[in-house]
Amino acid sequence: MAKHAFIFPGQGSQYAGMGKELAENFPAAREVFAEADDALGMKLSKLCFEGPEDSLRLTTNTQPAILTTSIAALKVVQAETGLVADFMAGHSLGEYSALVAAGALAFADAVRTVRARGTFMQEAVPVGVGAMAAILGVESAVLAEICAEAAQGEVVAPANFNSPGQIVIAGNSGAVNRAIEIAKARGFRKAMLLPVSAPFHCSLMIPAGERLAKTLAAITVAPLQVPVISNVEAKPNASKERVVELLVRQVSAPVLWDASVQEMIAQGVTLVTEIGPGKVLSGLVKRIDKSVESKNIEDLASLKALA
């Protein structure tokens, strides 16, 4: 029997104006933005709807902003279409949206937690000390060799396995830059630094994970109504007892997105709907397996297209 997955975007999908149309047209979306403003004690809604872009790009703002826009879109989908999913998944930060959608985390708890998560990740490594880069067209075994050669006593490792031939590395700036040069020397011309403020999903983030563990310990995790495919294991998790452990590990472990999508397909998923700003994940799903139907919902046009 064909199955459906909801997938939720991570950092990098944000843009000024996100969620504005939905909030203007649907009470369900307005309520989510109002709840976020109240939970954070700031006008996060104004930042999502109006920017400025540079404030929206700050990790401590980006993470709650994308989560809130994603859950606002989800509430509209649920109210207007009645669509349901057999699995949830999200890319990095998006895993929190997936857990809210699955009923494991209360939205207000999640939005406060991801704001703290963004702060912890930013503070774990001083600006300029870490970097991330995308290496295109490289196989994981070859990239492991490149990282080993580039390290020279510093950290550099795969951080995001996004799709076949698209892997992101993270670590100390010097080591990441050396990896780019080695990759180019080996013929991988598409190797480039990413415009991010910290080296996410590598061992430099372990202190952020330790701080996050304390924040997560204070919130209630409810039973999951739908399994969530975790970034860390690329396997469905249906146990509330494992949620915190997987989220703590996720901060410093690579995001296994390619394997997560392959797992959904193995579980019988034939349709994925990306809920939240942008179409990054829908694009990655197409690259991983063209036979899977993918849609996205972020505004009125995409909501109408769904019907």
Name the residue ranges covered by the structural domains of the chain. Answer: 3-124+204-306, 130-196
Angle at 200 between CA 221 and CA 19, to 5 degrees: 65
Indicate if the alpha-carbon torsion angle 208, 249, 71, 275 is positive or negative: positive
Domain 130-196 has what CATH class? alpha beta
- Whose tokens are 């494991």? That residue is 104
Of 70, 173, 201, 260, the catalytic one is: 201
SS3 content of the chain, % helix, strand, coil (to 5): 50, 15, 30
- Which pLDDT value is given to residue 307? 64
**3-124+204-306: what CATH class?**
alpha beta
Q: Could you tell me which residues come within 8 angstroms of residue 104 by beta carbon, excluding any fewer than 6 positions away? A: 221, 222, 223, 224, 228, 240, 243
Rounded CA gap, 232 and 246, in Å?
Answer: 7
- Measure the CA dihedral 124/92/55/32, to 10°: -130
Annotation says 201 is catalytic: yes
Catalytic pick among 13, 45, 70, 92? 92
Residue 216 CA to residue 14 CA, distance in Å, equals 24
What is the pairing mode between strands 236-237 and 130-136? unpaired
b/e map of 233-248 (b: 16 or more CB within 10 Å)? bbebbeebeebbebbb
Q: Which residues contact 251 (CB under 8 A, 6 or more apart)?
A: 117, 120, 121, 200, 201, 205, 206, 208, 209, 212
For residue 87, what pLDDT is reported? Answer: 98
pLDDT string in tens for the chain (307-residue length) = 789 999 999 998 999 999 999 999 999 999 999 999 999 999 999 999 999 999 998 889 999 999 999 999 999 999 999 899 999 999 999 999 999 999 999 999 999 999 999 999 999 998 889 999 999 999 999 999 999 999 999 999 999 999 999 999 999 999 999 999 999 999 999 999 998 878 999 999 999 999 999 999 999 999 999 999 999 999 999 999 999 999 999 999 999 999 999 999 999 999 999 999 999 999 999 999 999 999 999 999 999 987 6
Do the Cβ atoms of 216 and 229 come closer than 8 Å? no
DSSP state, 171?
A: E
What does the pLDDT read at residue 82? 87
At 257, list the tokens.
């997105």
Distance of alpha carbon 192 from alpha carbon 253, whole angstroms? 21
